[in-house]
Amino acid sequence: MTRFARMLITLAALLAAATPLADPAAAQDRARTKEVVVAFAAEPRTLLPDTIVDWTTNNMVEHMYDRLVDRDPKSFKPSPMLATGWKIVNDTTWEFALRQGVKFHNGEPFNAQSVKTTMDYIKDPANKTHYLPRWSQVKEVQIVNDYTVRFITEKPWPGLIDRIAGSDFLPMPPKALKEQGVQALAAKPIGTGAFRFVQWVRDEKLVVERNPDYWQTPAEASRVTFRFIPEFSARLAALLAGEVDIMKDVPPQNVEMLQQSGKARLRATVSSRINYLALVNLKPGPMQDLRVRKAIHHAINVDELIQQVLKGRATKMCGPLSPINVDYSSKPQCIKYDPAQAQALLKEAGVDPTKLQLTLDTPSGRYPLDKDVSLAIAAQLQRIGIKTNVVVNEWGTHLDKIKNRTTGDMFFLGWGPALDAQNTIDQLFSASQTYSSYGNNKALDAKIAQAVVIVDPRKRLEAWAELQQMVHDEVPWVFLWQQHDLYGVANWIEWSPRADEKIWMYEAKLAR
Amino acid sequence: MKGFVGRHGRGVLGLTFAALVLVAAVAAPLLVAHDPGQTDFAAGLKPPGTPGHPLGTDQLGRDLLARVLYGARVALFIGVCCVLLTALVGGLLGLLAGFFEGWTGAVLMRIADVQLSFPFILLALTINAIVGLGLRNIIVSLSVAGWVVYARVVRGEVLSVKERDFVHAAHALGLGRARLLFRHVLPNVAPSIVIVASLQFAQFIVAEAAISFLGFGVQPPTPAWGSMLSESRDYLYVAWWLAAFPGAALALTALGINLVGDWLRDVLDPRFRV
């Protein structure tokens, strides 16, 4: 009955926002003691690192666990974190130099054994981690000395550095894991991160405190509390009431109000997360026909959606990758809004638009104005006579339908952080992958298999560019846009959002 | 005259409200020029009083008046369907359970008891989660959750009616069971069915709105008051009218029908008949 809980929370938050009785001292007290409150839509699905692929979970886990390799928030290039440097030894071997003098929260030193243990944990099928298939190309981790490790891959895998730069590899403490076991580590995380675990109250909050022995300058925030508030409007109400200090996804229509509130500011960034409308060919239906997919794309006015529904808060895309993707090619030309062309293509395919009934699956509240966008798309298709039923799903149901291939002819989804080609093109256009909507294209499958193992950076870029064009020509999606992430940030906190959507309070600078 | 107002005032008020809603539902296409699904993104979130949009527009530029009026159609349609279904099924089962007191009645009433031990809305939600979304399925789930009330009330009435002299007399004259049941017992419990139906009607409409509010039930773009209220939450700060008008329509409808129900009870209940 989480929906009921959600209603109650909304009500409570609205009441809190409406009454002047909401304790105004709370926010000031927190500013003095440097305690930051961050609102997330959901609680973590686990506190184990390297286990569940979920943006919300990782955002909290990575306060306690460091990444082996980070990404520079500006250039999106891999940058050192627990690894200080890396090099390619040969086609199937990557070598990483590790940072010295780093300690886990229990005092255990971080070293090569920790990296090996982490890979062994991921590779052990008994642990059932989502990361196992993501690391299937790695055979093993070899220890060279205490602070040098080698990743041995089955085939050449130049994309390894892109995979490792981010949430895919968070080193775990080998001794604690061995002595206490996985369950104990899930209950009380022990990482090398800037914050230490304090308390997790289910369905309410997760609390972490500053790690004074951090290997860099300790964080400014003495304590960070993560609160779980599912709805945009309730999060915004909590922010304006001074109950939380940072929230994501300010609804575009509330931007002005937020800026005039005097309590918080808007911090916006172009996200690496892309939104698209999948035209599903992995199940029988009209979307099997390329001409129909093309016609649908021509019938949808993406610019109008961006301007009118999202109030300009999105950056249009013309192919499967966004310009901030490191493998982006500018070659694919935008498929233009052209209803006449759409009609002609449908006629050619022998489809009468007025008899065509389509179903569109959408989540609600997961991406900026997702449901409104879906309704607007249905309205645009109606203009050329196509009737579209919009099915609004709970988030979990939506993902399950995509995994089980039981969605309608179209579905709305976001994908990110989408910073390298393999992570998008390999993961979303092969029939064998979990979240695919399009596949069974032999030419494309072969080309992807080729591209993944190319070591030469230039040839690799060329191969991915060619693939982007191939994908573009197949119109597996209505290519929509890169999200703009709109954060509300309390006045006393100086923090800039990152394109990879990491809300990492180590980077927050506090007033006074 | 004063006596009439005292006795029938609520009824008149309720009937007026109900009639208003009925007219809105039936004559919706005549009352508004806009189609409830017609979008005009550029004219989104216009306040009430905007020329052409007396109640304003929603986030996609759809005319709110049209959506509220067409929403009345959806609400009444669901209400009527549910009431007919539950009255038919629940009434029939109640008749049987009351008339055949043996194991038939016992089994039926135990099923009813088990079902009554769950809160109505929770049960309806659970059934809805099983049968799936959509207009037809919400009618099914509300009906499955709602038949018990009729069964219990009708059974109780039948138990008392069937011991009355005229029933015994009819039986003594050699009337068949079916004829006895439908010709002599049913007309005497009919007023109760009507009263329960009128009260249930409002409950079904409110329950449908609640379920649609939670995202189950009627799916967009079909205009339903519950889902309109739910959508309005994201815009509460900037567009109060999105919540106010569907909410008022829902409240007015429920109030009207309940007043009619109360009044019917007073008029039809033999204990109040002088």
Residue B259 pLDDT > 60: yes
Residue A143 pLDDT > 90: yes
Three-state secondary-structure class, residue B179: helix
* b/e burial code for range B60-93 (CB count within 10 A of at least 16 → b): bbbbbbbbbbbbbbbbbebbebbbebbbebbbeb
Q: What is the DSSP string of B18-30?
A: HHHHHHHHHTHHH
DSSP letter assigned to residue A99: P
Helices (H) and strands (E) in chain A, counts: 17, 19
Q: How far apart are CA A296 and CA A431, in angstroms?
A: 22
pLDDT at A22: 41
Q: Tokens 């009209």 appear where?
A: A286
Q: CA of B221 to nearest chain A CA: how many angstroms apart?
A: 7
Averaged pLDDT score across all residues of chain B: 86
Between residues 98 and 157 of chain B, which touch chain A (CB distance below 8 Å)?
Answer: 133
Three-state secondary-structure class, residue B240: coil
CA distance readout (Å), A484 to A174, A259, A314, A369:
39, 17, 5, 12
Between residues 220 and 239 of chain A, which touch chain B (CB distance below 8 Å)?
Answer: 231-233, 236
Residues of A in contact with B239 (CB under 8 A): 253
Three-state secondary-structure class, residue A48: coil
The phi and psi torsions of A73 (rounded to 5 degrees) equal -65, -15
Residue A268 pLDDT > 80: yes
Pick from B38, B39, B62 the residue to mutate for testing the A interface (most A CBs within 10 Å): B39
Instruction: Report the predicted TM-score, pTM, of the whole model to 2 decimal places.
Output: 0.79
Q: How far apart are CA A78 and CA A455, in angstroms?
A: 17
- Residues A350-378, mean pLDDT to the nearest whole number: 91
CB contact under 8 A, A382 and B37: yes
pLDDT at A16: 47
pLDDT at A75: 81
* Residue A14 touches partner B, C-beta closer than 8 Å: yes
Averaged pLDDT score across all residues of chain A: 89
pLDDT at A512: 61
- pLDDT digits 0-9 by tens, B74-108: 999 999 999 999 999 999 998 888 888 788 888 88
The phi and psi torsions of A98 (rounded to 5 degrees) equal -105, 150
* ipTM of the modeled complex: 0.71
pLDDT at A443: 93
Q: CA of A305 to nearest chain B CA: how many angstroms apart?
A: 8
Q: How far apart are CA A451 and CA A464, in angstroms?
A: 7
* Residue A379 touches partner B, C-beta closer than 8 Å: yes
Q: How far apart are CA A461 and CA A243, in angstroms?
A: 47
CB contact under 8 A, A379 and B221: yes
Q: How far apart are CA A327 and CA A71, in angstroms?
A: 15
- Residues A492-502, mean pLDDT to the nearest whole number: 90
Count Cβ atoms below 10 Å from residue A190 Cβ, excluding itself.
Answer: 22
- Residues A478-492, mean pLDDT to the nearest whole number: 94
CB contact under 8 A, A3 and B215: yes
- pLDDT digits 0-9 by tens, B104-148: 888 888 888 898 888 888 888 888 888 877 888 899 999 998 889
Among candidate residues A303, A510, A98, the one with its CA nearest the CA of residue B41: A303
A511 or B64: whose pLDDT is higher? Answer: B64
Residue B67 pLDDT > 50: yes
3-state helix, strand, coil in chain B (%, to 5): 75, 0, 25
Q: How far apart are CA B188 and CA B269, in angstroms?
A: 11
Please answer whether residues A66 and A193 qualify as being in contact, where contact means their C-beta atoms are separated by less than 8 angstroms.
Answer: yes
Q: What is the DSSP string of A434-491?
A: TT-SS---HHHHHHHHHHHT--SHHHHHHHHHHHHHHHHHH--EEEEEEEEEEEEEET
What amino acid is encoded at A460 in this protein?
R
CB contact under 8 A, A372 and B59: yes
Between residues 455 and 474 of chain A, which touch chain B (CB distance below 8 Å)?
Answer: none
pLDDT at A330: 92
Q: CA of B44 to nearest chain A CA: how many angstroms apart?
A: 8
Q: How does residue A8 score in pLDDT terms, banded at 50, 70 and 90?
A: very low
Q: How does residue A377 score in pLDDT terms, banded at 50, 70 and 90?
A: very high
Residues of B in contact with A372 (CB under 8 A): 59-60
Among candidate residues A103, A109, A106, A117, the one with its CA nearest the CA of residue A170: A117
Tokens of B217: 């039930």
pLDDT at A59: 93
Q: How does residue A49 score in pLDDT terms, banded at 50, 70 and 90?
A: very high
Percentage of chain B beyond pLDDT 70 is: 96
Closest chain B residue to A393 measured between Cα atoms? B215
A75 or A438: whose pLDDT is higher? Answer: A438
Largest separation between any pair of C-alpha atoms in chain A = 70
pLDDT at B11: 85
Q: How does residue A18 score in pLDDT terms, banded at 50, 70 and 90?
A: very low
Range in A109-118, A396-405, A475-484, B246-255 the model is least confident about: A396-405
CB contact under 8 A, A257 and B41: no
The phi and psi torsions of A182 (rounded to 5 degrees) equal -65, -40
Closest chain A residue to B239 measured between Cα atoms? A253
Residue A481 pLDDT > 80: yes
pLDDT at A275: 96
Helices marked H in A349-441 = 370-383, 395-403, 421, 427-428
* Long-range interactions of A341-344: CB distance < 8 A, separation 24+: A341/A295, A341/A298, A342/A294, A342/A295, A342/A296, A342/A298, A342/A299, A342/A384, A343/A295, A343/A384
Largest separation between any pair of C-alpha atoms in chain B = 77
A24 or A101: whose pLDDT is higher? Answer: A101
Tokens of B132: 């799936």
Three-state secondary-structure class, residue B41: helix
Most confident of A189-203, A408-422, B50-64, B220-234: A189-203
Among candidate residues B203, B50, B219, the one with its CA nearest the CA of residue B134: B219
Three-state secondary-structure class, residue A255: helix
* Residue A88 touches partner B, C-beta closer than 8 Å: no
Q: How does residue A23 score in pLDDT terms, banded at 50, 70 and 90?
A: very low
Residue A109 pLDDT > 80: yes
* Long-range interactions of B163-170: CB distance < 8 A, separation 24+: B164/B188
pLDDT at B270: 61
Between residues 43 and 72 of chain B, which touch chain A (CB distance below 8 Å)?
Answer: 44-45, 59-60
Q: Going by C-beta distance under 8 Å and a sequence separation of 6 or more, which residues neighbour residue B212?
A: B138, B218, B224, B225, B226, B227, B230
DSSP letter assigned to residue A286: G
Please answer whether residues A504 and A339 qualify as being in contact, where contact means their C-beta atoms are separated by less than 8 angstroms.
Answer: no
